Amino acid sequence: MDTILKIWILIFVIMIFIDIVTSGFLFVWFSIGAAGAIVTYLLGGNAITQVIVFAIISIVCLVFGYPMAKKLIKGTVKRTPLMEEKYIGKELIAENNIEDVSKIMVGGVYWTAQNIGHPIKKGEKFIITGIKGNKLLITK
């Protein structure tokens, strides 16, 4: 087996290994380029032709394949909501009067709450409607 063929096979295997370890789906495109270089070698192409084939196939696959693969993977992964996003829609009872900004306890943690509706009196129910920065938005 010729040395250059061993190098292309090594590049092919290393790129696939790196992609498996990092799970970034970035290096597989270079392994496809290495496979193209191996085919070029087997068809009798010289070293310069093999490098050119490797570069062209790798770049084309990277430019077109990576964005498509990223979009495909992103579409299949379900987004996990942040802890405070789970509070939206939760109904609570006011511990004190809330006119504009106040502290409220949600899940055992005090949060700054901004009232975006009518004033809330102590003992009245209110609902968390959203998040603005690090404040929970509430309304009666």
CATH number for 134: 2.40.50.140
Place of tokens 């370890």: 21
How far, in Å, CA of 131 to CA of 46, rounded? 62
pLDDT at position 84, please? Answer: 66
Please give the pLDDT value at position 109: 79
Q: What is the number of H-type helices and E-type strands within the chain?
A: 3, 5
Both tokens of 110, joined, read: 């005090």
Domain encompassing residue 40: 3-76
Identify whether residues 49 and 108 lie together within a single domain. Answer: no
Q: Residues near 53 by Cβ (< 8 Å), separated by ≥ 6? A: 33, 36, 37, 39, 40, 45
Q: Are residues 9 and 66 located together in one domain of the fold?
A: yes
Mean pLDDT score, 110-126: 84
131 - beta bridge partners? 136
Confidence of residue 83 (pLDDT cuts 50, 70, 90): low
Q: Residue 74 is encoded by which pair of tokens?
A: 């992103």
What's the chain's Rg over C-alpha atoms? 29
Number of domains in the chain: 2
